[in-house]
Amino acid sequence: MKKVTGIGGVFFKCKDPDQMREWYGQNLGLVTNEYGSLFEFCSSATPDKKEYLQWSTMSEKSKYFEPSKKQFMINYRVENLIKLLEELKNSGVEIIGKTEEYEYGKFAWILDPEGNKIELWEPVDEAFTKEYEGKTTC
């Protein structure tokens, strides 16, 4: 079974998320909104299919990364999240909370051996494609 298929997002804590988004916009050209910046790309495995990566600043007081004490979290794109979670559980990997499902995909969280919280995402890229259709192409 294919497991991780790519990076789905990069999230980091900062003192002033709004100011950081503005700085990245002004200095590095990121187009941002209240959630951060959405990067669109085409996978070499499926060049006709658009995929997305979310970059987000988060408050240094955010509890979203807990129980991890780290200042960052990486979201990995996966295939068949439910089956992967079964495999991870059988391997003794700590699963955090319950799986959540939205129109743009399923999410689950695990901890690596050093306590880094990892977000796993089985995307429904078509949900993003509808929102951004015609704005960019592969």
Kindly report, residue by residue over 58-69, the tens digit of the pLDDT. Answer: 999 999 999 999
Mean pLDDT of the chain: 89
Segment 17-26, tens digit of pLDDT: 999 999 999 9
User: What CATH code is assigned to 4-132?
Assistant: 3.10.180.10
The candidate with the shortest Cα–Cα distance to 17, out of 1, 45, 36, is: 36
Residue 12 CB contacts under 8 Å (≥ 6 apart), including other chains: 56, 57, 58, 71, 72, 73
In this predicted structure, what is the pLDDT of residue 133? 52
**Domain map (residue ranges) of the chain:** 4-132
Confidence band, pLDDT 50/70/90 cuts, at residue 126: low
Q: Is the pLDDT of residue 136 over 70?
A: no
